[in-house]
Structures are given as structure tokens and as C-alpha cells.
Chains A and B, each alone.
Chain A
């Protein structure tokens, strides 16, 4: 088991956000946590990343961890190559080697021409690919994704989701939080729905591992099935009619 969260309770001051979350993510699988804005998804990710200490419960992470955030979080004063190599630098990899590996990874992600660009010269999608390269390069056992594709157009999002499947070794556990049900259904092996104040897991759906990212119609069909569940519909505060879930993006 690569990431194990047991009995997680978390709070910001007196406001309890998470109440008793149990989540196990085996190596080689992708779990998507969905829920509407403010449902505690990002808090769960912060607890998993060790950025927020839980009030109760335990997080066991089996190996190296990497995180990709919604806003890429590149260092504006470093070129794309050095940003991609940041994780390797933290691991103590020699400068020449990490720069070579970073350039090779950026090339694989379609950024061969942007290796020496500053982040300000890159588009949102390119920055997000640099952030993915930074995470892939450390060969994480656990990868945490905080709505990393939410600001991108559907075509680019599908492309990056495909890269996620192809670049990750089968021994990596991925925890992705998103409010976009279609995005979750495109790639996840399992979808977990958070709801309530404080939040807890209300629904877990095992989808099985897709050979490749699911097509948009497939994802919409899965989303429609999900929303047939009253608990999921209630979590997003919408009617459970399937017609509502085509191109569904709850904000």
C-alpha cells in the first residue's frame, strides 16, 4: 500500500473540516476525490502531503511523495529546465545530471522548445506540464494532484491525463482531487465523493483500471451513473437527472 490514511480528522482553528477519513491507495492506482468547492478536498490533500497536521488519525506514505498544484507553482526566477529539475535538486542529484534529465523529460512532455524559457514566457498548459515534469522526475511512490488541469481546455487536459498514465511507473499511487466529475471519470480507477460539514466519504465507486484514458462519452456515462446515486447528487446539490451531467463541471 503506497498511501494509507486512517481516521483523519482535520480542522482550521475551531472549524472542523474532515471527520474520520479512511483512504487506502494501492501502488499503481489512481483515486479521484470529488466534491463541491469547500468540501475539504484540498484539505485532505494537504494532510496527505504533510502540509497540515491532522488533529487525529495517521498518514502512512510508502516512499517518496510529489505534488502538482492547481497553479503550477513554478519558481519565476528559474528557467523551465531548472524548475523541472527542482525535485531532483532536493534529492541531491548533481547539477549536470539533473539538468539533462529535466531537459529529456520536458522533451517527452512536448516542451523541447521551451526548455530555456522563463515561466512568464509559457502558457498555462506549458507551465502545468513543467510542474508535471518536476513531479515525474523524482519517481514518486505517491503523487498528489490538486486540480492540476482545471484551468486547461478539454483537449489539453486529455493529453496531460494520457501523459499521467504513460509516464508513471506502475508502482505509483495517485491521489487526485477535482471538482470536475468528467475529469475524474476520464482517468481514475476509483472515485471517492466527499460531502458534509465536516466532510466525510459518502460514496466510493470502483471503476477498474482503464487501459488508456477514457473517452469523453465514456466519462460522461460514468458521471451519469454516479449522479444516479442520491448521495452523489446531494453532495453536488443538484438533481440526479442524467441530462444534467453531460459536460458537468460543478464549481
Chain B
């Protein structure tokens, strides 16, 4: 999959733990962990909105397209 999640980078920049962010955006630790490791098929706009709001960033800071070639 050429879409890479850089959530861990943004979390490190904002010095936010996984549990803390999960609590703030209202999803489970497990789901946030899956999102962080890129093991999901999709992200809801609602989740993306909450993450961007909490980490004060843009969707492009979290998701990145890297070509397979």
C-alpha cells in the first residue's frame, strides 16, 4: 500500500502518548495503534478531524503517499 501513516512522527513531535491521544479523540487504544502501524483499510473523516484538531496538524502531516516504484 503506497499510503504511509506518519502518526507516530506527529505524536512524537507533540509529545503525546497513544493512550492520551486515544482518550482525547474518543477511539480505542487498539484502533489507534492499528492506525499508527498502518494496519487499517481506511480512516473516517471524523477520526482524521479529531486527530488533526488534537495534534494541531494537517491530514497531509499524518498521511503520506509513497509510490511503490
Q: Do A and B come from one complex?
A: no
Task: Enumerate chain B interface residues (CB-CB to A < 8 A).
Answer: none
Task: Enumerate chain A interface residues (CB-CB to B < 8 A).
Answer: none
